[in-house]
């Protein structure tokens, strides 16, 4: 590569932002392309969906984040296709040429090719998704107190599909709303009738975590009144009825799908570089068969001796891959040896509700109040701005002491 080579980064998630922060601006001209004008802090989407924090608290304008980087440009656009022969990225606002292309497009909800479920259920992969869930759930609470009794069953069943961290955190948060907030907001309606159902295809909640985390999360959720249904798959959902593979049918108009993700693949590259909806990459995050195109984070599939089935699609992998790649791109320019990526798992955690969390560290596993404090502290540290850290901390503190928030706003278009 020559001096002032042009680098295009597609995507401003955890991986994309880390790349932009660590790429040497004195050596490269950098262009960021993202269909949004802000970075989204995905681990707290569920708190927006459950009215615990405002969407602005976890959304960060890209131009504000990157305003000190004078050789980084930003274009708000959706990438339509990659023309690798001519080294061009095609978007709806024009084409952009590159010397090095880095794909950091993250992942989206995987509905496993079931169009009916995709059309009728909610997903939670963006701030906008979280706002849609919040609006719908709050509107349903309002509707419950006025609709005829025979129609209420559809709104009294809140179904969450997938008991990974997102599903567990949603179920716990909605249980706390039902138990602590709704009786005060609607004193003349019996919200103990509201069923929160968590459906999981495997045998356990938090199936990818330790036995301690599996057992503790299930115990916490059941104590909070969440109905847990395991070893069952969802066959279909038409907007009114959830159909399970054991023949059970559940009436519901409130279904949230958190049962899987797949990479956001951009059209244009060879089909054989895509595996399990991710790009096959080498140990330097270079897409197999391409010298100048890389993929990082959730959209990258890298096999290593420690991770022969690829790395977990979590933020810590994305952040570390991006940092290594930024250094390796500079090493290519300087003719230095490249560093192979090796992921060191720092642990996994999930929160189930007030004073309830589980933490899996490499050599230590614990649960309860201390785990909950650790969860809050680490998530606060990852928030980008001091202002937003403070706002979220105040909201969490208020919720802790009052078991209530004042954020239950239904935001919709006026007719």
Whether residue 159 contacts residue 197, with contact meaning beta carbons closer than 8 Å, is answered with yes
Whether residue 301 contacts residue 280, with contact meaning beta carbons closer than 8 Å, is answered with yes
What is d(CA 31, CA 20) in angstroms, rounded to the nearest whole number? 9
Residue 100: per-residue pLDDT: 96
CA dihedral 288, 293, 297, 301 (to 10 degrees): -10
Whether residue 264 contacts residue 107, with contact meaning beta carbons closer than 8 Å, is answered with yes
Q: What is the 3-state secondary structure (H, E, C) of 300-327?
A: EECCCCCCCCCCCCCHHHHHHHHHHHHH
Residue 244: per-residue pLDDT: 97
What is d(CA 241, CA 264) in angstroms, rounded to the nearest whole number? 29
What is d(CA 369, CA 381) in angstroms, rounded to the nearest whole number? 19
The 10 Å CB-count burial string (b at 16+, else e) for 157-184 is bbbbbbbbbbbbbbbbbbbbbbbebbee
Residue 310: per-residue pLDDT: 95
The pLDDT profile of the chain, 415 residues, written as one tens digit per residue, is 455 789 999 999 999 999 999 998 888 999 999 999 999 999 999 999 999 999 999 999 999 999 998 889 999 999 999 999 999 999 999 999 999 999 999 999 999 999 999 999 999 999 999 999 999 999 999 999 889 988 899 999 999 999 999 999 999 999 999 999 999 999 989 999 999 999 999 999 999 999 999 999 999 999 999 999 999 999 999 999 999 999 999 999 999 999 989 999 999 999 999 999 999 999 999 999 999 999 999 999 999 999 999 999 999 999 999 999 999 999 988 889 999 999 998 899 999 999 999 999 988 999 999 999 999 999 999 898 888 889 899 888 888 888 877 677 777 766 6
Residue 401: per-residue pLDDT: 85
Neighbours of 394 (CB within 10 A): 12
> Residue 34: which of 67, 18, 10, 63 has the closest Cα?
10
What is d(CA 300, CA 289) in angstroms, rounded to the nearest whole number? 14
Model confidence, pTM: 0.93
Q: What is the largest CA-CA distance in the chain?
A: 73
Residue 198: CA count within 13 A, CB half-sphere: 30
Both structure tokens of 32: 């960021």
What is d(CA 11, CA 264) in angstroms, rounded to the nearest whole number? 10
Whether residue 262 contacts residue 254, with contact meaning beta carbons closer than 8 Å, is answered with no
Helix axis angle, 386-402 to 369-382, nearest 10°: 150
3-state percent helix, strand, coil for the chain, nearest multiple of 5? 35, 25, 40
H or E element at residue 169: helix 165-176
Residue 384: per-residue pLDDT: 84
Whether residue 318 contacts residue 335, with contact meaning beta carbons closer than 8 Å, is answered with no
Strands 254-257 and 157-161: parallel
Exposure of 14 by Cβ count < 10 A (0-12 exposed, 13-18 middle, 19+ buried)? buried
Q: Which domains does the chain have, with CATH numbers?
A: 5-35+77-109+261-334 (3.50.50.60), 115-259 (3.50.50.100)
Place of tokens 């701030």: 127
Alpha-carbon distances of 109 from 106, 124, 239, 275, rounded to whole Å: 11, 8, 18, 17
The 10 Å CB-count burial string (b at 16+, else e) for 317-355 is bbbbbbbbbbebbbebbeeeebeebebeeeebbbbbbbe
């Amino acid at each position: 590569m020559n001096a002032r080579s042009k680098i295009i980064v597609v995507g401003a998630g955890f991986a994309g932002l880390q790349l932009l922060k660590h790429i040497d601006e004195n050596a490269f001209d950098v262009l960021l392309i993202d269909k949004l004008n802000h970075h989204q802090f995905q681990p707290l989407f569920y708190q927006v969906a459950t009215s615990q924090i405002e969407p602005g608290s976890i959304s960060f304008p890209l131009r504000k984040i990157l305003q000190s980087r004078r050789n980084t440009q930003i274009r708000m656009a959706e990438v339509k296709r990659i023309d690798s022969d001519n080294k061009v990225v095609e978007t709806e606002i024009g084409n952009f040429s590159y010397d090095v292309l880095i794909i950091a497009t993250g992942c989206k909800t995987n509905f496993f090719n079931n169009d009916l479920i995709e059309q009728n259920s909610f997903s939670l992969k963006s701030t906008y998704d979280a706002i849609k869930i919040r609006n719908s759930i709050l509107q349903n609470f309002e509707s419950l107190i006025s609709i005829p009794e025979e129609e209420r069953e559809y709104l009294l069943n809140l179904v969450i599909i997938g008991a990974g961290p997102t599903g567990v955190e949603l179920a716990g948060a909605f249980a706390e709303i039902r138990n602590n907030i709704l009786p005060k907001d609607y004193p003349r309606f019996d919200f103990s009738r509201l069923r929160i159902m968590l459906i999981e295809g495997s045998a356990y909640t938090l199936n990818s975590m330790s036995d301690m985390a599996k057992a503790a999360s299930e115990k916490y959720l059941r104590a909070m009144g969440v109905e847990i249904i395991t070893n069952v798959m969802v066959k279909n959902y038409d907007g009114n009825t959830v159909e399970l593979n054991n023949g059970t049918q559940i009436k519901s108009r409130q279904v949230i799908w958190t049962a899987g993700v797949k990479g956001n693949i951009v059209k244009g590259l060879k089909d054989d570089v895509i595996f399990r909806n991710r790009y096959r990459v080498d140990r330097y995050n270079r897409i197999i068969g391409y010298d100048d195109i890389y993929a990082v984070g959730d959209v990258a599939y890298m096999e290593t001796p420690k991770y022969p089935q690829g790395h977990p699609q979590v933020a810590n992998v994305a952040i570390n891959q991006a940092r290594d790649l930024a250094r390796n791109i500079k090493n290519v320019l300087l003719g230095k040896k490249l560093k192979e990526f090796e992921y060191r798992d720092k642990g996994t955690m999930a929160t189930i509700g007030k004073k309830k969390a589980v933490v899996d560290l490499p050599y230590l596993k614990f649960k309860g109040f201390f785990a909950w404090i650790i969860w809050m502290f680490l998530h606060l540290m990852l928030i980008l701005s001091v202002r937003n850290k403070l706002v979220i901390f105040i909201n969490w503190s208020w919720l802790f002491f009052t078991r209530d928030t004042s954020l239950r706003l239904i935001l919709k278009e006026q007719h």
